[in-house]
Structure 1
Amino acid sequence: MIDAFEVVESSTDGVKYWVSEQIGIPNEYLLRMRKSYDVVEFATSLKPFLLSHLLNMGLSEATYLDPDIKIYSHIDSSINEQTESVIALTPHRLTASKVETVSEFEKVFLKYGAFNLGFISVKNDVGSVEFLIWWQEHLVRDSTRRPISEVFTDQKWIDLVPSFFKYNIVRDFGFNVAPWNLDERKLSYESGELTVNSTSKVKFVHFSQISGMLAAGDLSSEWQLKMNNSSMTQETKEVFLQLIKDYSTELKSVARNSKLLIDYRLLEAPFSQLNYFWRDRINQKNSKNLYGVSKIENFLFTFSNPLLKAFTRLDTVNGLIWGIKSDLQRIKKRYK
């Protein structure tokens, strides 16, 4: 629970949960992260700490799944013991994109990361402990999602894993089914079970970044565009649209009946609401091991007003401008 400071009940409907202070993050690191990361950056930066926490509880293997993922069939261990792997990863795709869609897929993967970190599994092993410590050290300072940056939250760092650690790629097409790979994964029902390429069961579908909209009964225009431009089969499109509709219905039902909100108390400032200008100032101080901030920065961090919110929105506008620029560049190349 990234926005809570006290848990009244540590489990709801059989699900165990913790607040950020309970998963082994040093207080000075947690303070730094709350003051310099927005909600997405902060949430993603906690992954290696949570995985370490689970392994320290004595689990032989720990698996992380994004909250916008739905499981459709049993997931066996994804760690390949024969290769001495201690980490299992899923690439965004398992086959190369067609030439006409390279700009839509492979260039995006180069920017945001080759592996999709909606899923990662780690074995309880010395090698995975070394990996998690390495990942934690980077994400304490560098888990940003700025329009122009070398990193993208927790995900881009994992491109270095093949060079540093023993890992394996999960080559099961039923893992991480999503719009960016539906052209290589034909969905159908075989004997009443959801299958991919008529050979294996769908393990889980990643409804990336749209669970909030689906909970309100809507589908983002970005997803609609991705699906319309994809070269997936008509059957795949029909099956996937039905999956989206069913998932939306489930989300709305859960939102109405959830007991979770009564079981914890919220923090006033669980993560930063600051513009990147002020976050950079805080990070500069942190890089010099000065964990405190000036009075004016602390005031800006805790004081919410229309002017501050307007400055914060500049980050979004900046990202939009760069996105439009990229789109114009693609159009220029296409009609040149």
Structure 2
Amino acid sequence: MNSVTPRRAIVTICSGNYFPYARILLTSLQKYHPEASLFLCLADKLQPDGELGIPGVEVIPAADLAVTNFPDFAFRYDIMEFNTAVKPFVMQDLIENRGFEEVVYLDPDIELFAPMNPVFDAFAEGADFVITPHITEPAEFGEFPDDIGIMKAGIYNLGFIAVNNSPDGISFLHWWGRRLRFQCVNKQSEGIFVDQKFVDLLPSFHDNVAIVRDRSLNVAYWNLDQRELTKTDDGWLINGQPLRFFHFSGISTKAPQQLSKHTARFRENLSPALQEIILHYIAKLKHFGFGCTANPEYGYARFDNGVAIADIMRRCYRDTEDLFLENPFASFADYLNQPSAECFSDTPWLITNLMYYFWREREDLQQAFNLSQPDSRHSYGLWFIQNAPSCGIDAYFINPVLDNVGYFYANQIKLCPQQYGSRQADVGVIGYLKAETGVGNAGRMVASSFCDSQVEIQGYNVTLNVMARQAETKVDDILASKIDSRVEIYNVNADQLALVRKHLAGKTSENAYKINMPFWELSKFPTDWVNNYQGINEVWAPSRFVQGAVQTAMTIPVIWMPPAVTLDQFTPRDRSYFKLPDHTFLFHFNFDFSSFATRKNATAGIEAYRLAFRDRPNNTPTALAIKTRGYDPDGKNLQKLIDFTADEPDIYILNEEMAYDDAMALMNCCDCYLSLHRSEGFGYTPAEAMLLEKPVIATDYSGTRDFIDSTTGFPVSYRLISVKENEYPFWESQTWADPNLDHAAWLMRKMVSDPTHTKQVSLAGKHKILNEYSPKYIGQLYKQRLQQIGII
């Protein structure tokens, strides 16, 4: 036997979110296999601050591998599929380009506890391949991972495979690579499970395959029923022999009483040894950064335009066989939004390619909606608008459908000024025009926008149920004691609409064209309020989000008509005026308790800030300033916030009453506005921050999406969660966003470390608001809509 150790490489594959796992594996490999060269293949994009932090380990970006049309390869798979699909390609690279004689692959969620001698002994005895079976005896307990379940997933566990530099080894890797280039999918019902099921064929294709049944290798939830784990002073044992490596597949730091999320077994009454090894691994994960360091978002999670890629879009791309795109990240989003050629695209109800694929995938939708019928296409459009977000579909793919539905109603309206007779004004703006409130400001901005569009207007100040100060004077010159106009625009929310109209009886015209501009913060519009719209002809929604919520509940036009955003003059202040530190990068959030603290989600911003900067070296000192205001009668909400940030001197809670001048000066002296909201009807404060040329980090959900994307701000990924009881009015069956704190924290660090990019984005954000939300621009939108229906 040759006593010279062959050139040996050991490689793992992961995306950036799995670095803590990989660090455990790689440090254990350095301990037990110092003779091997260690590699990590990064199934992700390289990030400036995404350092692995393990000296002596080379990182190979997946994009550097010899894969034909890599963008197509990365796009067609979700993160799990992609991590497994690159496996044969990186092993080819290590053998064919770097000349290693033995290459071992290990999943990142493995830890070694002893050398892998049986693997290398098999190579020394002439094996070209070394694999380990999931189970080594029958498993007939009737639940996964029983032997039937293992047959579906694959006989051999591909968290481990070793290949020799031989003609057979190279031939197999090329065949495996050809298959995984296009067919590395999770379709167990069709006999395919990513990379794993293909290796069932390996012993049939090649000789010299060592199927190593050593119980000390690849111990995991799928075989622990068949092996006894114990602990002695010398370490962990399997069946009395030293444990070589344990595969912690499916472990959760939030559930230390269970071994894996992938099985119902090993969830209670764990043996002392099993409980100890679980706690040991969780402690190591935290030591290596899990849950206490910021992770970037998966680099292949979005189109080039910043829109999130849902799994169904990857499936649609794979199944669209007649479509070839050199870079689907750049162009496939447009294809998804195009009218489906297979589905009556010449009719008023637009069915996009994405909608058609969605419908084709789901039998329940096919049964519910007959797309050959116009009414059914209409119903499917409304269903898609309301339900697509919960399926992970970005608003970018919903808005064209929303416009189509809204304008179908809108285009049926044709009026003329003469039918309304002689009136004192073209438009009457009805709202809380003197109230110092957000809704009051919205009404004033509508009035100002019409003034800039040279439309004759009147204004009526509503005082019904108003508790705020009536001190605003900006539109006093248009106020009247009654409204006499062809168009009446009610700047009141839906819950007050019927009350206000009743209160104004005799002060408005019965036959005026009536428009409501409501704000609402959840994705489903309350059915209790629909009756309030009797006699209302049209709704102008301040955001796409509100448009979608209202249109699915109404049979009148719901048109996206955003409000104007402006800043009044204010006196700039330095930070000492607010007792805030100089020479720090200062994050800021401002919210009103009366707007529901849970919705505003200030604690998420605090947690993201901690994750980004607490106990992590940073060249620039940072701080977080949170300004609170509004109705908090017993002070409990404020006290919770103070207690939540106790003993954190870099987090400032400001609860003083501030006039507009000081509130804007505070925002102006900060470096970033942070809004990890659960939902916003529009998002005035982030928009105002953008006008001040402040970079904005905001949850990529609801109203703020209209003006914040990756070119104008820093959108944070999220998942939808149910609104809990009494967290918001009409909470039943509602969802809102749970922002990804890892992503938010990573963006915060990136913002501090890359001021050039931050400046470019904040400048683009300022121009976005200046150009598309100015009173002049918005006033023209309003005027064009009224001209379109023929009323002015």
Cα deviation for residue 195 of structure 1 reads 1.5
Is 1:75–2:116 an aligned residue pair? yes
Separation of aligned partners in 2, 1:6 and 1:66: 22
Residue equivalent to 1:157: 198
Alignment partner, residue 192 of structure 1: 234
2:212 matched to 1:170? yes
SS state of the match for residue 299, structure 1? helix
Counterpart amino acid of residue 273 in structure 1: I
Q: Which residue of 2 aligns with 1:204?
A: 245
- Tell me the residue number matched to 1:274: 310
Residue 88 (structure 1) aligned with residue 127 (structure 2) = no
Cα 1:215–1:62 shift into 2, 3 Å: farther
Residue in 1 that maps onto 2:486 = none
Structure 1 or 2, whichever has the larger Rg, is 2
Q: Calculate the aligned-residue CA RMSD, in Å.
A: 3.7
Alpha-carbon distance in structure 2 between the residues aligned to 1:300 and 1:219: 44
- CA contact under 8 A between 1:6 and 1:19: conserved in structure 2? no
Supply the distance in 2 between the matched residues of 1:279 and 1:268 (Cα, whole angstroms). Answer: 11
Moved more, 116-125 or 2-11: 2-11
Structure 1 residue ranges without an equivalent (≥5)? 314-336
Quote the residue 1:333 is aligned against: none
Once the 2 structures are TM-superposed, how far is the Cα of residue 91 of structure 1 from its aligned partner?
Answer: 0.4
Matched, 1:49 2:89: yes
Q: 1:77 to 1:59 in 2, by over 3 A?
A: farther
**How much has 1:22 moved relative to structure 2?**
1.6
TM-score normalised to structure 2 length = 0.34
Q: CA deviation at 1:284?
A: 3.9
Aligned to 2:223: 181
Aligned to 1:2: 43
Indicate conservation of the 8 Å contact 2:103/2:163, yes or no.
Answer: yes
Match of 1:310 in 2: 390
What does the per-residue CA deviation read over 1:171-220, in whole Å, with 9 as the maximum and x for residues that have no partner? Answer: 2110011122112211223551322111x21111111122xx22786747
What's the counterpart of residue 148 of structure 1? Answer: 189
Letter in 2 for 1:138: R
Secondary structure class of the residue paired with 2:160 = strand
Conserved 8 A contact 2:286-2:292: no
The number of residues matched between the two structures is 297
For CA contacts below 8 A with separation 6 or more, give which structure has more relative contact order: 1
Give the letter aligned to residue 31 of structure 1: P
Q: Describe the superposition over 1:10-40 as per-residue Cα deviations: whole angstroms up to 9, x where unpaired.
A: 87322211211122222x1x22222211000
Q: Partners of 2:62 and 2:156 in 1: how far apart?
A: 25
Quickly say closer, same or farther: Cα 1:101–1:251, change in 2 above 3 A.
same
Aligned-residue identity in percent? 24
SS at match of 2:284: helix
Q: State the match for 1:238 in structure 2.
A: 272
More displaced stretch, 218-227 vs 239-248? 218-227
| 1:116/1:155 contact within 8 Å kept | yes
Residues 12/188 of structure 1: CA separation in 2 closer, same or farther (3 Å cut): same
Code of the residue aligned with 2:289 in structure 1: it is A
Equivalent residues of 2:152, 2:188 under 8 A apart: no
- CA displacement, residues 227-262 of structure 1 (integer Å, 9 cap, x when unaligned): 159xxxx8x822111100110011011116999969
Partner in structure 1 of residue 289 of structure 2? 255
Separation in 2 of the partners of 1:3 and 1:156?
24
Q: What is the rounded CA distance, in whole Å, between the counterparts of 2:332 and 2:387 in structure 1?
A: 15
- Between 239-248 and 289-298, report the one with greater CA deviation: 289-298
| Rounded Cα–Cα distance in structure 2 between residues aligned with 1:244 and 1:140 | 35
Q: Decide whether the 8 Å contact of 1:69 with 1:205 is kept in 2.
A: yes
CA 1:296–1:179: 2 relative to 1, 3 Å: same
- Cα offsets for 1:122-169 (capped at 9, x unmatched): 111111100100100000111111463320111111111111123111
User: Is the 1:60–1:123 Cα contact (8 Å) retained in structure 2?
Assistant: yes
What is the aligned partner in structure 1 of residue 180 from structure 2?
139
What TM-score results when the alignment is normalised by the length of structure 1? 0.75
Q: Secondary structure at the match of 1:140?
A: helix
State whether residues 65 and 90 of structure 2, in contact with CA within 8 Å, keep that contact through their aligned partners in structure 1: yes
Equivalences for 1:17-36 in 2 at 5 Å? 17-26=59-68, 28=69, 30-36=70-76
C-alpha separation in 2, matches of 1:225 and 1:11: 33
1:283 is aligned to 2:363: no
Matching of residues 97-108 of structure 1 within 5 Å:
97=139, 99-101=140-142, 104-108=145-149
In 2, the alpha carbon distance for the partners of 1:59 and 1:245 equals 36
Cα separation, 2, equivalents of 1:250 and 1:240? 15
Give the Å deviation of 1:62: 0.9
Seen in structure 2, the aligned counterparts of structure 1 residues 195 and 68 have a Cα distance that, compared at 3 Å, is same
With 160-169 and 5-14 compared, the bigger mean Cα shift is at 5-14
Letter in 1 for 2:72: R
Cα deviation 1:44-101 (Å, max 9, x = unaligned) = 101111111222312211111111111111112615247642111010011222x445
Distance 1:274 1:224, change over 3 A: closer
SS of 2:332's partner is helix
Q: Which amino acid aligns with 2:85?
A: S
1:330: which partner in 2? none
CA contact (8 A) 1:7 1:19 kept: no
Shift of 1:225: 2.6
CA distance in 1, matches of 2:200, 2:161: 13
**How far apart, CA to CA, are the structure 1 residues paired with 2:299 and 2:386?**
22
Answering whether residue 54 of structure 2 is matched by residue 13 of structure 1, we say yes
Question: Which residue matches 1:324?
Answer: none
